[in-house]
């Protein structure tokens, strides 16, 4: 059928101070899983119903319906987190290379602690691209093409990894 149900019932008896009759309280907990008719992002539902049965009959006191994320929704959340991490890491690398390029272009003093820090931190990311183009100088200013090429390459790598993550975590389709 595609719908699985589980029921759980707890009975409580208590004495009401205003009424001499004992009151029975039935608490029904029902769990439904609809795997055929529900859309993937809403495939699991918990239904909680609390009923009180007494001399006046049965009454529903409390009812809740809570949607739980399905496997597809959890996979989509994992994919989103993976893409956020990829873009964050590569964004930091690209920002370092951009600051490096600007400092070189403006002829920043390498005796400055901040400049040395940025150059040391960004050097491993610019190193694979050094020597591709010559670096023209104008006084103390240097156009470091390695940083610009690195920014472009790392942006493409980040995009490629994000797309790869989408392919890996893509929801599978059912075949009939």
- Report residue 20's pLDDT band, with 50, 70 and 90 as the boundaries: low
CA-based radius of gyration for the chain: 32
CA distance 69 to 90: 30
**Confidence band for 172, pLDDT divided at 50, 70 and 90:** low
Q: How many CB atoms lie within 10 A of CB 96?
A: 22
User: Which two tokens mark 17?
Assistant: 């101070």
CB 27 within 8 A of CB 12: yes
Average pLDDT rounded to a whole number, residues 21-31: 52
Res 9: pLDDT:
47
Residue 97 has pLDDT above 60, yes or no: yes
Reply yes or no on whether the pLDDT at 28 is more than 70: no
Q: Residue with structure tokens 């590569």?
A: 90
pLDDT, greater one: 111 or 54:
111
The DSSP letter of residue 144 is -
Count of C-beta atoms within a 10 Å radius of residue 133 = 13
147-170 exposure pattern, b = at least 16 Cβ within 10 A, e = fewer:
bbbbbeebeeebeebbeebeeeee
Q: Supply the mean pLDDT for the chain.
A: 77
Domain parsing of the chain, residue ranges: 3-68, 72-169
d(CA 74, CA 85): 17
Comparing 134 with 9, the larger pLDDT belongs to 134
Which one of 6-10, 65-69, 117-121 scores highest in mean pLDDT? 117-121
């Amino acid at each position: 059928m595609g719908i699985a149900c589980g029921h759980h019932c707890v009975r409580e008896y208590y004495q009401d101070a205003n009424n001499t009759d004992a009151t029975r309280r039935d608490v029904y907990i029902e769990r439904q899983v609809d795997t055929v008719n529900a859309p993937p992002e809403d495939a699991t539902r918990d239904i909680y119903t609390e009923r009180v049965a007494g001399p006046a009959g049965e009454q529903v006191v409390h009812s809740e319906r809570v949607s739980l994320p399905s496997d597809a929704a959890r996979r989509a959340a994992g994919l989103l987190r993976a893409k956020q991490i990829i873009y964050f890491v590569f964004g930091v690398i690209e920002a370092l290379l951009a600051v490096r390029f600007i400092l070189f272009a403006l002829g920043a003093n390498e005796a400055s602690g901040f400049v040395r820090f940025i150059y040391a931190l960004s050097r491993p990311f610019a190193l694979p691209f050094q020597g591709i183009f010559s670096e023209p100088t104008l006084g103390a200013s240097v156009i470091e093409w390695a940083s610009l090429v690195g920014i472009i390459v790392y942006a493409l790598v980040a995009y490629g990894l994000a797309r790869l993550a989408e392919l890996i975590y893509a929801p599978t389709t059912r075949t009939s």
